[in-house]
């Protein structure tokens, strides 16, 4: 009987030790996983859509820091700085979104990643009349933002300017 009692105690001791070690290893593993931090590159990455014009006027069209992109106001112009769509709010708006899409694509983003959009216009009523076009741009949800009527924009004849911010979470 003593040998059986001793065997039972030995078996229980081995079981408890193995269970305790197994639990300890699991906790240790969980702690290691939870303390690992993914490092996001916070070095600003500047993008020039029209380098010569942007250098001449003194701005960068976009900058990416981490998972965030800040995009300067897009206006309706060609690569030489000539106005496109004189007198047409709709044509100028479409041209602005075309340029904004090029910038987003450069960084691998889409309009679904836009979280802020600000519109500056010299004619709010005309902008509202054609603003339905934005439904073809924002298919998932609309971003936050502000619409402002202003006295003028950078160049004569410009009717609209759109700036935006985009963000991509790591979980996508």
Task: Note whether 31 and 67 are same-domain residues.
Answer: no
Task: Note whether 28 and 106 are same-domain residues.
Answer: no
What is the model's pLDDT at position 170?
78
What is the model's pLDDT at position 161?
98
Could you report the per-residue pLDDT of 123-145, keeping only the tens digit for each? 999 999 999 999 999 999 999 99
What is the model's pLDDT at position 16?
47
Task: Note whether 99 and 134 are same-domain residues.
Answer: yes
Task: Note whether 74 and 149 are same-domain residues.
Answer: yes
At 23, list the tokens: 């639990």
Does residue 58 form part of some domain? Answer: yes
How does the average pLDDT of the chain come out, rounded?
86
Task: Note whether 32 and 85 are same-domain residues.
Answer: no
This model's pTM is above 0.85 = no
As for how many domains the chain has, the answer is 2
Does residue 70 form part of some domain? Answer: yes
Does residue 172 form part of some domain? Answer: no
What is the model's pLDDT at position 27?
46
Question: Where residue 9 falls among pLDDT bands split at 50, 70, 90?
Answer: low
Task: Note whether 53 and 100 are same-domain residues.
Answer: yes
Could you report the per-residue pLDDT of 23-53, keeping only the tens digit for each? 445 545 455 555 566 677 799 999 999 999 9
State which residues form the domain around 63.
Answer: 45-167
């Amino acid at each position: 009987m003593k040998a059986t009692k001793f065997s039972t105690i030995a078996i229980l001791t081995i079981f408890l030790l193995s269970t305790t070690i197994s639990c300890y290893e699991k906790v240790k593993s969980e702690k290691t996983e939870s303390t690992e931090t993914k490092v996001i590159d916070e070095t600003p990455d500047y993008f020039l859509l029209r380098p010569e014009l942007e250098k001449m006027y003194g701005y960068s069209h976009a900058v990416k820091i981490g998972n965030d992109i800040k995009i300067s106001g897009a206006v309706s112009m060609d690569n030489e700085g000539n106005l496109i769509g004189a007198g047409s709010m709709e044509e100028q708006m479409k041209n602005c979104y075309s340029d904004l899409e090029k910038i987003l694509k450069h960084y691998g983003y889409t309009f679904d990643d836009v979280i802020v959009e600000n519109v500056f216009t010299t004619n709010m009523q005309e902008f509202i009349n054609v603003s339905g076009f934005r439904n073809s741009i924002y298919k998932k949800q609309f971003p936050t933002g502000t619409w402002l009527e202003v006295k003028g924009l950078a160049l004569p004849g410009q009717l609209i300017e759109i700036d935006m911010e985009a963000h991509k979470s790591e979980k996508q």
